[in-house]
Structure 1
């Protein structure tokens, strides 16, 4: 496990174009990042420069400002991803990302939520339609968190569902600012978000979970422990995680736990895994990309085995990359329609 900025081509593999677009980077900034890194500009510097250019546009109308702030926030999201470990530079970039989201949220009417947990805190953004009829708690895994999923929130809100974009233990601000690592009760942490939704009369309707990458594991295990969850989508997650011998994945796993000791990381993965006795009583949707180099269909099969076959759905994109970023629009439409149907039932 290595601390330091990886070469540009390694970062381009870890953060390929479909992923950049999926998490909100605009096409012109993708092209600008390619040109800058080809000229030798460090990845994080290039992303930060692109963000500053977007922020210069944010003094127009409120609509233009929100668009520019979202684009700049996405640039900063990927700037901090260049640093797997919690360096001062990563903290600086993530704080700038959070501030940009806060500025956009103040204009767009998003609500920031901060919840105490295990000596630290959890955070999230609530993005609401005019007349909500259910809430989906949406989260990522090892490197993309919270407002990284604003495009998915757009799809939910367009269909009348509230999106709760959250950051859990070992992720984003809870880790970088409050010192909350992945050694706590993760199922209880995500149930804390469920508690919050169900305690609020302004967030009516059923509650669903949508977990992406390793976040899909947290979604599946939380649904297995919390019967209040009506529907859960697992997108590209291993039921029994392990170190993969891939620098980015293994370094990020170390950062989430706060140790570089491989045995300690694997023991924690074993603790987080779907257990033999777990049952997922809620409706279940598993998404799989046939070209995913990280998670195989066999890695996801235990989730399906733990669910009622009559209430579970498997959707495969044969050429799908990890978490199906290369079919993002179709993926988002399919999943959000699925939540709407399950909530109506």
Structure 2
């Protein structure tokens, strides 16, 4: 073949496929602004609503002109750590869920599918049983290490074989590891009543009863994980096209998955340690925002960052008042709210494609 013919063939090669366009950029920016407004309103509701309801002007005065002798102001300040934790844990779960669905190319991916929740839970149980850990600040490090170890093991298992860590192999390896870790955890819990009593309050999932001593040590890993995941939007768009096409576009698939997985582990491990295994937040929100953003992860990730904490805080606020004088943990409320919404999203179908 002559050089001229070769040049013509190369010129005629079809362009690489691209992510299908979603809504126009202007409307997406407006929707993101609306999401921020919703989050601000839910945050104010978290300060104002509870067993002792407060007016919004009282909340504002407590935040801007705090009076230590005012009981209402003290209530608002007591709710600040709980609200901040809801914002941080919700944002972490939303970002991690969106990134996990992109990496695994699995619409049902969440922290449970690759064993992160099971690894964190087993590590917490081991910390309680072996080392006598009883504080939430102690749970953080055990849960984080357990989540990281589980993610590494799953990826190594899935990487075995000719095709590497494919989405199906990741899901199968995660499910198998989760089953084994849960079995080990149950062996410990059955043999130790004291460990069971301490663990069950964390296992339900919630943001009540936490203070700054729990939140502040977790900030570095949360911020680092969020920065990593937010920077992977273009990588996730390429991975969504399939490994072969992503490689054709110059993407180093293994490196992209590894970087994104690091961010996911940091976010999921820390959020699970702080709030327990809260479900559905990282599963539903990325599906819901695709109706507004289309399949572009450069928009899905920021929307998930904003709307996931709004869902978690809303669930927590509802749980405070639904069974007065007691309250329902946020982990239970997200399941009650999230399951019907997820069924509706699945039935709606078309807008939630990856």
Q: Which TM class, normalised by the smaller chain length? A: under 0.3
Structure with the largest fraction of strand: 1
User: TM-score normalized by structure 1?
Assistant: 0.27
TM-score (norm 2): 0.27
**Which one scores higher on RCO, CA 8 angstroms, separation ≥ 6?**
2
